[in-house]
Each structure stands twice: as C-alpha cells, then as structure tokens.
Amino acid sequence: MKKIFIIISMIVIGICGVTGCQNYKIEQINATVLSSNEESDVTVASVDDVLENKDLTVIGNADYEYEQLEEKLGDISVTQAIVANEKALMLYPIFEQQDEAIDNIKEDCAKILNQLQEYYGLEEFSKDSLMEYESVYSALLDEDDCPDWYTETSETYCELDMFFDIYKDEQLNEELIEMAMNATSAEELLENEDFLMELPSDTLVGVQ
C-alpha cells in the first residue's frame, strides 16, 4: 500500500545567453507530493527534507544555474528526490506553474511560433498542440525559408529548447516515481537499468 501526503518545500534558479543554451538556478515555494511504499524501503521526499537530513547522501543537483529563464517563463524547481538505501536521488527540475509557462512562452516566442504554425500547418500553440511544435522547431533550421535570425545559438531557439526540455521533465519525474513505488526494495530499484537510464545525467553519474 502507498501513502501520499502534501508538504511545503522551498528551493532555488535562473535562461539562455546569446551564445548558447545553459542550465538554470532554482528558488521558490512549491507543494511537493511525498509517497512511500510500505512493502519496500523506497520513498519519495521533498528536496528540503532531503537537504536537512544529515543521514542521507544527496546524489545529483538541486541547485541549477539558469540566469534569465525564470524571469521569462516563471518559477522552476527541483522539488522531489527518490530515497533508496540512504541515497537521495535528485529528480528533474519542473515548471511550478506549467500553464503559466505555456502562456509565457507563447507570448515571448510568438514570432517564431507563428512561423512554425504557418510553415508546418500546425494548430495554434497550446498545451494540446505544443508537442507538435517540439517536433519541428529544430527542423526549421534546415529549411530554406528559415529566418536568418533563428539559429541554434539565438536566444529564441535556446528559450524554446529549454522550455520543451523542462516541460517534458515533469513526465519523466512521474515515470521515475512510478518505477520507484513499484520496486520491492531499494536494491531492486538501483539495479533497474530502465530506471537508472531515465535519471538526470548528474544523478546517474552519482549512482554509478
């Protein structure tokens, strides 16, 4: 049986420079769902609780350097960690207000989103259609009609690139938590290649 309860946590973040895409930083208040599987020794904990617990070894990063993205799209936080064998495995950073982030990227990158919509015959950019844009925003770079100002190092491209990465990270977190809650023991979880390969890269390096 699983137990689920809510706890309030705080964390820290920052976007992309004109020379390329970077990671972010993390800072704000977020409601975190913690889960535990009574049949195993695996739990999901808030990052605040993890950092305060001196008995746990933190694996991964809860303090990303971003710069400007938070100002453009809204707060981003690493809110949860999976705890197994006294190791706290950091999960991915996510948008605290996903709908707000979608509205903000739609406004901030309206010019290129409108061009993508027209060029590829897409529906208007929304939560329901945004993954269609995710599938073509890079492909446009190779098209003859690609605007000169839209390049891999342009601020617009980098902002879109990071938006899609963080947007998809929420689903990755859900998949990781589901695998963790289905594990019968910490040992089983930490030997699960599917679980390990889906972890954030810095967390995976720490586990190995």
What are the structural domain ranges in the chain? Answer: 2-96+170-191, 99-159
Contact status, residue 74 vs residue 105, Cβ threshold 8 Å: no
DSSP 133-146: HHTTTTGGGGSTT-
The predicted model scores a pTM of 0.77
Helix (H) or strand (E) holding 184: none
pLDDT for residue 41:
85
Residue 31: phi, psi to the nearest 5?
-90, 125
Mind listing the pLDDT tens digit for each residue in 55-109?
Answer: 999 999 887 777 789 999 999 989 999 999 999 999 999 999 999 999 999 999 9
Contact status, residue 7 vs residue 145, Cβ threshold 8 Å: no
Helix (H) or strand (E) holding 121: none
CA dihedral 69, 73, 77, 82 (to 10 degrees): -110
Reported confidence tier of residue 149, pLDDT bands at 50, 70, 90: very high
pLDDT for residue 101:
97
At how many degrees (to 10) do helices 110-120 and 155-182 cross?
80
Return the structure tokens found at 164: 């899609």
Amino acid at 165: D
Determine how β-strand 57-59 pairs with β-strand 76-77: unpaired
Mind listing the pLDDT tens digit for each residue in 28-68?
Answer: 323 333 454 555 689 999 999 999 999 999 999 887 777 78
Amino acid at 49: D
Q: Is 2's pLDDT higher than 60?
A: no
Mind listing the pLDDT tens digit for each residue in 108-137?
Answer: 999 999 999 999 999 999 999 999 999 999
CA dihedral 33, 37, 40, 42 (to 10 degrees): -10
Query: Cβ-count burial of 11 within 10 angstroms (0-12 exposed, 13-18 middle, 19+ buried)?
Result: buried
Q: Is 13's pLDDT higher than 70?
A: no
Return the structure tokens found at 28: 């704000």
**What is the rounded average pLDDT for all residues in the chain?**
84
Reported confidence tier of residue 196, pLDDT bands at 50, 70, 90: very high
pLDDT for residue 21:
54
For residue 5, what are the β-bridge partners? 34
